Chains A and B, each alone.
Chain A
């Protein structure tokens, strides 16, 4: 079920209403059934994968905590990781490796039959796999006690607001909340509604609208000049941001209304002055996951400088691969690793600025340029396309493609509201809090205006969220 589907608009209020009416002891079961129903709307059979992953990680958690033998603990951990990551590998990367092997064989003019793998990627597999793997690792490290209740643990893995596109929750944060008795609180409802409505605004008013322009240009490179492709790349940087941050906002808001606190996933990332800061504001649940479970175990920054840069680069490379089985994503991750290492080398990440200053603006602009340069690889249909785009941007200026004027006008209108809100929150956090005003009249009226804008110019057939494919 998509958040931007009408089905979800009926499903969610029904779940919330029933959730608060159901006796507390049955709530976990109700949420578990609702979550599986939510997921099974795509391809029911893939629910078995979540269930399997749940059983494996839950059992591993219990075995690790009960065993005192370190070697045995490690064996259980490795076994659990191998099984979970193998599932992810099979569904997500086997086809990619197969294609590359075929190309390699053809390149050397060898004859070898490699079977074709064309499996539909289970929605959200990367998200719930990382969440359950994180749980097992926490128990192994002794940072967490295992969840004894299989049903509650199953709910932790499948909790519908964040099941298919995060935030990738930590067991320490989310699991205890399933044991708490949640009471309806108007403050939670207010915050939740604000996050949900704002999330929808980002998705259907901005992302899906400017996505039309981006698709028209990126899918027809031969028809467009460098100027258009540059504009399109800038648009894509906002499309992907509004798509993913919009989803996260709806997820966090939906959970909030039911009394659950999910972690913040985005904090105005384009206001970062270096790549390191960007990753502390962009997809925070993933970047902290990689920090805690990959970068730090590799030695983090407590090693020699060259090793630290290598650790950084490797972490980002793997992060790129996590996003998709394609060289474009790997290069995108590699670029972020490279930029981050270079900025560390030149100590750009150590610079401090006044809240509003020319220097800060300069570094913000430089960082934004680096980020959108990397987005070219993320969005391009192939590596060759990405290089075509870059070449055209630097060598073929021209008139900007307009296409549908209404698409541009609605998109730019939505973007203006986003920029106004983000600038206010970044630089003037205590001024003009319209959507989150403490005054009920102001906040409810502002949110109503947002709903009306969504109804007026939102795209209602925009399809699924980009991050579902990861």
Chain B
């Protein structure tokens, strides 16, 4: 009677733990396979990157800075760590992770309003959950995720949980994707979009600043200075002209003054402004625009960087 009573729950527990272990193991192997490491820039970024010039930012960094072109022109290993939808929390964690392995010579941080302002909670630190698979290998990420989620340690007792919803992309990275990036830079083609352009302008009105995010930017810059990294903040071009009276510029000026860091603002650059042939959409340059912009970045670095002047 007693054995019969516990047979079902016991079997349920044994089967669940066994299947979780086996499929979790399979998911781990699939995610960290050799070909996946090549096609998934996230794995390279957090586990083995070792570059001289590093570029941080969201999708605007990912699609705007041709790292291969910079590497070929400047002659230093360059990698674009831009990651779609990510913000300063991600960049800061990535920088800390890179510093555990090596110290870059030059760092570029691409910023835009979303890096300063109050956004829905799922756009803040919660965005770091894309790093869940890497938390199984990187203690720094594991600790950071524990701060966001009180139950992180308990949840990751499951071997599958860190790879939740990653099966399709892992299979794709292993079997169906060729390398589509150039040192992390992902060019985008086309120059047509269908959306409300006026909506973009309004994103810069009535900004509510997020003090935590601004603190995080300060942390990032202080870490760069502490490690003698030649650091630049870039704001790449947008299609529409943004409001210049924005408080956002005041903060940038404050940063420039406080950390003596060069802030290079291409936001309303005449070459790009309202010239749709350079843009895939109002916030993202296409490949043609990205290459022209990258040339400008290289020029700026050559003019401003004492390090490059010494090398050259």
Contacts and interface: CB of A to CB of B under 8 A. Distances in A.
A186 B7 CA distance: 9
A456 interface: yes
B155 A444 contact: no
Contact of A444 (B12, B27, B122, B167): B12
B194 interface: yes
Interface stretch (B78-86, B88-96, B158-166): B158-166
B160 A455 contact: yes
A461 interface: yes
Interface string A426-453: 0000000000000011011101110110
A391 interface: no
A455 B5 CA distance: 27
Given A6-B155, A410-B168, A449-B19, A456 B160 contact: yes
Given A406-B165, A455-B161, A448 B12 contact: yes
Contacts of A458: 164
A405 interface: yes
Contacts of A223: 194-195
Given A445-B15, A452-B19, A461-B122, A440 B8 contact: yes
Interface string A400-431: 00000110011000000000000000000000
B16 interface: yes
Interface in B34-85: none
A457 interface: yes
B16 A451 contact: yes
A405 B122 CA distance: 21
Interface in A184-205: 186, 189-190, 193
A334 to B, nearest CB: 33
Given A6-B155, A193-B12, A461-B126, A440 B7 contact: yes
Contact of B23 (A405, A406, A447, A452): A452
B163 A409 contact: no
Nearest to B9: A189
Contacts of B16: 448, 451-452
B165 A459 contact: yes
A450 to B, nearest CB: 10
Contacts of B12: 193, 444, 447-448
A460 interface: yes
Contact of A457 (B126, B165, B195): B165
A406 B164 contact: no
Nearest to A452: B19
B147 to A, nearest CB: 16
Interface in A79-129: none
Interface string B19-36: 110010001000000000
B163 A456 contact: yes
Interface in B126-154: 126, 129, 151, 154
A222 B196 CA distance: 10
Residue of A406, A441, A451, A455 with most partner-chain B CB within 10 A: A455
Contacts of B165: 406, 410, 456-457, 459
A193 B16 CA distance: 13
Interface residues of B, number: 30
B4 interface: yes
Contact of A445 (B7, B11, B27, B155): B11
Interface size class of A (residues with CB under 8 A): 20 to 34
Given A6-B151, A406-B169, A457 B8 contact: no
Contact of A455 (B11, B20, B122, B194): B20
Contacts of B164: 455-458, 460
B168 to A, nearest CB: 4
B161 to A, nearest CB: 6
A190 B19 contact: no
A212 to B, nearest CB: 11
A64 B158 CA distance: 55
A48 B70 CA distance: 64
Contacts of A441: 11
Contacts of A456: 23, 27, 160, 163-165, 167
A444 B168 contact: no
B23 to A, nearest CB: 6
A238 to B, nearest CB: 19
B158 A455 contact: yes
A409 B155 CA distance: 25
A460 B155 CA distance: 11
A459 B161 CA distance: 11
B160 A452 contact: yes
Contacts of A452: 16, 19-20, 23, 160
Contacts of A445: 11, 15
B11 to A, nearest CB: 4
Interface string A160-192: 000000000000000000000000001001100
A193 B27 CA distance: 26
Nearest to B15: A448
Nearest to A463: B122
Contacts of A449: 19
Interface in A314-330: none
Interface string A216-245: 000000110000000000000000000000
17 contacts: A6-B151, A190-B8, A223-B194, A405-B168, A406-B168, A409-B168, A443-B8, A444-B11, A445-B11, A447-B12, A447-B15, A452-B16, A452-B20, A456-B23, A457-B165, A457-B167, A461-B122
Nearest first, the 4 closest Cβ-Cβ pairs linking A and B are A448-B15, A444-B11, A406-B168, A455-B160
Interface of A: 6, 186, 189-190, 193, 222-223, 405-406, 409-410, 440-441, 443-445, 447-449, 451-452, 455-461
Given A186-B9, A449-B19, 19 more contacts: A6-B151, A6-B154, A186-B4, A186-B5, A189-B9, A190-B8, A223-B195, A440-B8, A441-B11, A447-B15, A451-B20, A452-B23, A452-B160, A455-B20, A455-B161, A456-B27, A456-B160, A456-B165, A457-B165
